[in-house]
Structure 1
C-alpha cells in the first residue's frame, strides 16, 4: 500500500525473525523483561559514574566559598583560568576517547577513566599554589572528557533509539542530583575543619575523589561489554535483545552491519563531521551548557551574594533545593519525550522555562525572587539536555559515524565551559546582571537553533516523500518517476504481504540484491526525524509529523 505521497515502505526481512520468539504477547513480555534487567543493572551504575563526573568538576565551586582562593593565594581571575583549562583538555579528549572505546571495550575503558579522575580529584586536595591548581585541573579534564560521549555510545549498543531519551534522562538526572548531593556533602565535610593539617575545602576534594575511585572499581564488576556478555540475561533474552537492535539499525537494509561497514574508515568520520544536524544541535547544546556550567560552578556564589544565608554552610544547603527540583522534572520530561517520540519539539517548550528565569533574575533586585528564579534556570536547562543528546544519536547510522557525531557535538558544546568560567566575576556582585544577560542571550540562540533543526528534519522528510532519497553514502540523488513506478510494480509482483494497515505495508520476498531497488526511495536508508522510530521498516523510521 502507498502513502499519500506515493512512497511505499517495505519490511525488513529480519522482522520476521522475531516470530521465532513467539506471538506478539510473548515478545512484549520479553521486551519488558529485557529492558527491566538493563535498566536495573546498567543505568544505576552509569548514573553513579555521571554523578561522580559532575561532582568532581564542580566541587571547586563549593570549595571556593570556604577558602580555596585564600589558602592557595590565587586571584579570582586565576581561579577562573583553572576552571577554563579543565574544559580545554576535556574537549580535546572527547573524540579520541570515543574512537578508542570500541577497541578498548567499555568494561575496561569507562572504569579506567573513572578511577583515573578519582585519583586526580584527590590530588587536587593537596595542591599548594596556582601552578598546581591549573595542572591538576588540566589532567582532570583529560580523564573526564571521554565519559559522557562514551556512555551515550555504550547505551546505544543495548537500547533501541526510541528507548534512549528516558534512559539518558535518568542517568543525566545524576548531573542535577550531583549539585544537591554535592552541597550536602560539602556542608558535612567542611565541618571536619583543619584536621591533620588540611583545611575543610581540601577534605571535600579528597573524600569525593576517593568515592569516585571506589565507584570506578565497582563499575568494572557491574558493567557488561555487550548484550552477549551480560550474565544477568538468559540466552533467549540475549538473542531477542540483539534482534531488536538489528531491526533498529538504520544503516543496513538487511538489519546487520557487515564487517566492512563496521570497520573504522575515515570516510565515516568525514560523514559525521559534514552532517548538518551536528552543527544545529552542537551550537544549541553549546549555548545550553554555557548556562548549565555557569549554574553548576557559581550557584553557591550567586546565593551567597543574595545575602539571606547566614554563612557558607547555609549557602551549601540553599543550593541543594533547585537541583533536587530539576532532577525530578528532568525525569518527567525524558519520559514524556519517549512517550511522544519527540525531541526537538519538547525542547522548544522546556528551554523557555530557563529563558524566563534568566530574564527575571537579570532585571530584579529582590533576593527572594532571584532565588526563586534559580529553580526555573535549573529546570529548563537540565530537562533539555537528554533530548538534545538522543536526537542526534537517533539520526546517526553506523558505529563510527555515530561515535564521531556524538563526540563532535559534545566537543563543541563543552566549549561552553570557557564562557561559564569567566561569566560571573567577583566584580559583578551582588546582582551579576551581565552574566545572567549573556546566558539569556545564549539560551534564546539555542531555542532558534533547535527550531531550525526541527524545520530541517521536516524538509528532508518532505523531500523524501517527493522523490528524493539517499544512497548508502547519504548523498541526495533524484530518481526518474517512471522508473520508480516500474520498481514498485516489480516489488508487488514478486513480494508477499505479511501485514498491512492504513499507513503501511510489510512485505517479504523482495530481492534486496537488486541495486536499483536498494537505491530507490522505496527503500530508504536513514530518516532524519524529530521522532524516534515508531516502526522499524528497512532500517527506516516514520517521518516527523
Structure 2
C-alpha cells in the first residue's frame, strides 16, 4: 500500500475521534489545562537552558572589558578569530544534531549538550594563550550548536502551530534576560578576583560553567520525552493533547511516529524549500546584528562615555535587555493571536533599523544609550516569529528538522559578521559597524516581505487547485495545509 495513503487512512481515524472530543463542552477547558501544565513544566526549563546558552556564548564580551586580551596576550584580531571559530563549529553541528535528536531522545540529548558545554565553559577560565582560547571556543560551538534548533523541534511536538510563537517567545526572552542577568552576574563575579591566582574574568567563566552544568543535570529529571510519555499529564490529557496535534497535521504526528525512519525525501524537500531560504537569509541578517549587539554592547557603552568605569558599564547593559524581554513577549503573544509571523516582523524590525541609523551618527552619550533600547527591542522581538515560521510551514518530522536546522545554520553565519565589524580602531563612534548592521536589517526586512508574498502565492495556488494532486498527503503540500504569513 502507498505509505502516504496509509497515513491518510490513519489520519482519518484520528480525526473522527478527535472531532468527537473537540465537540465536548469541556474540550476547551481541558485544552487550557493541558497547555498550562506544559507551559509551567517545560518552558521554564528550556528558558533556563537557553539563558545558560547565551550567558556562556556572550560572557566573553564581559570578560574582554575586564582584561581578557591583556591577560592572554592576544590582539584584538586574535580575539575576533576566537569568536569566529566558535560560530564555525556551532553552525556545522546544527543540522546533524537535529537529525539525530529523535533517535538519541530529547530528554537525554538536550540536557547532555548543556552539561557538556558547561564543562567546556569552565575550561575557558583556565586558558593561557590564543591557541587554547581558540580550541576551547571551538569545542563550545560544537556543544552549543544543537540546542536552539533542538528546542524548536522539541516544542513543535507538544504545541499546535497557533500556540508556538508565544511559547518560543517566552523562552527566547531568556536570551534578552541573559544580557541583563549576565551584566549583573559579571559585575558580581568580577569582585571575586584576582583570587587563587586567577583574574576576575576567569571566575566569570568558571562559576557560570558550573551553574550551566548543574542546570543541564537538573533538566534531565524534569523534561518529558514526548506527549505520550509526559508524566505530569493524565492518560486522558495525553490522548487529547496528542490528538489535537494530529488533527492539525496527522503526517508529522501520526500514530506510528515513533517508528518513522529517517526520510531522505523529506530532507531533500527541506533543503529545496524557497520559504526556508527567504527566512534563513533574513534571520542571518538579524542574528548578525543581535550577536554583535550582545558581544559589543559593553564596549559601545564604555566608549560612548556614558559610564564612568567598567563595573558601571556592566550595570548599564542590564536595562535595554530587560525592556527587550517585555516587548518580545508582547509581540509573540500578538503573533499567535493574529496568526501572523512575517507581517508582524515587517513592523518590529524598523525599530532596530532606526536605532542603528541614529547611533552611528550622533555623539551624545545619553542619546546613544537611548538608541540601544530601539536596537535591542527591534531585533529580539522579531526572533520568535522568524524562529517558528519555518516550523509552522513545514510538515514531516525530518523536513521540519532539516528546515529548522538549516535556517539556524545559515542564520548563525551572522556570527562571523558580528565578530569583525566592531574593531577597536573604530572607537568611539563605530560608524562602520552600525552602518553594516543597519544595511543587513534593511535586507532582512525585504527578505521577510518576499517570504510573505511567496507564502501568500502558495496559499492562493492551493485555493485555485494547483496543488490538487497532493490532496490527502497531509504534509505541507496538501491543499488543506495553508501557509502562515
TM class by shorter chain equals over 0.9
Which residue does the alignment assign to 1:335?
333
Deviation at 1:262, TM superposition (A): 2.9
Which residue does the alignment assign to 1:194?
194
Which residue does the alignment assign to 2:177?
177
Which residue does the alignment assign to 2:289?
291
Which residue does the alignment assign to 2:7?
none
Q: How does 1:28-39 map to 2 (within 5 A)?
A: 28-39=28-39
Q: Deviations for 1:89-129, whole angstroms, at most 9, x for unmatched residues?
A: 00000011111100000011001000000000000000011
1:309 corresponds to which of 302, 307, 310: 307
**Pair 1:443 & 2:441 matched:** yes
Deviation at 1:22, TM superposition (A): 7.1
Deviation at 1:340, TM superposition (A): 0.5
Which residue does the alignment assign to 1:320?
318
Which residue does the alignment assign to 1:463?
461
Gaps of 5+ in 2: 1-10
The CA distance in 2 between the partners of 1:397 and 1:235, in whole Å, is 26
Deviation at 1:229, TM superposition (A): 1.3
Q: Deviations for 1:218-273, whole angstroms, at most 9, x for unmatched residues?
A: 00000010112111101100000010111121637xx7365699321222211110
**Pair 1:86 & 2:86 matched:** yes
The CA distance in 1 between the partners of 2:163 and 2:86, in whole Å, is 32
Which residue does the alignment assign to 2:406?
408
Q: Contact (CA 8 Å) 2:87, 2:413: kept in 1 or not?
A: yes
Q: CA 1:19–1:276 in 2, change beyond 3 Å: closer, same or farther?
A: closer
Which residue does the alignment assign to 1:390?
388
Q: How does 1:365-384 map to 2 (within 5 A)?
A: 365-384=363-382
Deviation at 1:309, TM superposition (A): 0.9
**Where in structure 1 do 4 or more consecutive aligned residues deviate above 2 Å?**
11-16, 18-25, 255-262, 523-528, 538-545
Q: CA 1:383–1:260 in 2, change beyond 3 Å: closer, same or farther?
A: closer
**Pair 1:97 & 2:70 matched:** no
Q: CA 1:471–1:90 in 2, change beyond 3 Å: closer, same or farther?
A: farther
**Pair 1:61 & 2:1 matched:** no
- Partner of 1:228: helix, strand, or coil? helix
- Partner of 1:377: helix, strand, or coil? helix
Q: Deviations for 1:178-215, whole angstroms, at most 9, x for unmatched residues?
A: 00000000000111121111100000000100000000
Q: CA 1:454–1:310 in 2, change beyond 3 Å: closer, same or farther?
A: same
**Superposition CA RMSD, Å:** 1.8
The CA distance in 2 between the partners of 1:148 and 1:417, in whole Å, is 15
Which residue does the alignment assign to 2:215?
215
Q: CA 1:408–1:250 in 2, change beyond 3 Å: closer, same or farther?
A: farther
Q: CA 1:116–1:259 in 2, change beyond 3 Å: closer, same or farther?
A: closer
Q: Contact (CA 8 Å) 2:352, 2:379: kept in 1 or not?
A: yes
Larger Rg: 1
**Pair 1:540 & 2:477 matched:** no
**Pair 1:273 & 2:213 matched:** no
Q: Contact (CA 8 Å) 2:251, 2:474: kept in 1 or not?
A: yes
Q: Contact (CA 8 Å) 2:76, 2:423: kept in 1 or not?
A: yes
Q: CA 1:154–1:354 in 2, change beyond 3 Å: closer, same or farther?
A: same
Deviation at 1:175, TM superposition (A): 0.3
Which residue does the alignment assign to 1:535?
none
Q: Contact (CA 8 Å) 1:123, 1:136: kept in 2 or not?
A: yes
Which residue does the alignment assign to 1:514?
none
Q: What TM-score comes out, normalization by structure 2 length?
A: 0.95
Aligned residue-pair number: 475
Q: CA 1:225–1:259 in 2, change beyond 3 Å: closer, same or farther?
A: closer
Between structures 1 and 2, the one with greater helix share = 2
**Pair 1:168 & 2:168 matched:** yes
The CA distance in 2 between the partners of 1:426 and 1:206, in whole Å, is 27
Deviation at 1:464, TM superposition (A): 1.8
The CA distance in 1 between the partners of 2:298 and 2:189, in whole Å, is 16
Q: Contact (CA 8 Å) 2:18, 2:247: kept in 1 or not?
A: no
The CA distance in 2 between the partners of 1:246 and 1:541, in whole Å, is 13
- Partner of 1:382: helix, strand, or coil? helix
Q: Contact (CA 8 Å) 1:395, 1:526: kept in 2 or not?
A: no
Deviation at 1:164, TM superposition (A): 0.5
Deviation at 1:24, TM superposition (A): 3.6
Q: Contact (CA 8 Å) 1:51, 1:178: kept in 2 or not?
A: yes
The CA distance in 2 between the partners of 1:122 and 1:406, in whole Å, is 29
Q: CA 1:114–1:259 in 2, change beyond 3 Å: closer, same or farther?
A: closer
The CA distance in 1 between the partners of 2:58 and 2:141, in whole Å, is 12
Q: Deviations for 1:522-543, whole angstroms, at most 9, x for unmatched residues?
A: x574568xxxxxxxxx893456
Q: Deviations for 1:37-92, whole angstroms, at most 9, x for unmatched residues?
A: 00000000000000000000000000000110000000000000000000000000
Deviation at 1:304, TM superposition (A): 0.3
Deviation at 1:16, TM superposition (A): 3.0
Q: Contact (CA 8 Å) 1:470, 1:524: kept in 2 or not?
A: no
The CA distance in 1 between the partners of 2:223 and 2:230, in whole Å, is 8
Gaps of 5+ in 1: 1-10, 473-518, 529-537
Q: CA 1:259–1:212 in 2, change beyond 3 Å: closer, same or farther?
A: closer
Which residue does the alignment assign to 2:71?
71
Q: How does 1:478-517 map to 2 (within 5 A)?
A: none
Q: Contact (CA 8 Å) 1:250, 1:397: kept in 2 or not?
A: no
Q: What TM-score comes out, normalization by structure 1 length?
A: 0.84
Q: Contact (CA 8 Å) 1:350, 1:380: kept in 2 or not?
A: yes
Q: Contact (CA 8 Å) 1:248, 1:539: kept in 2 or not?
A: no
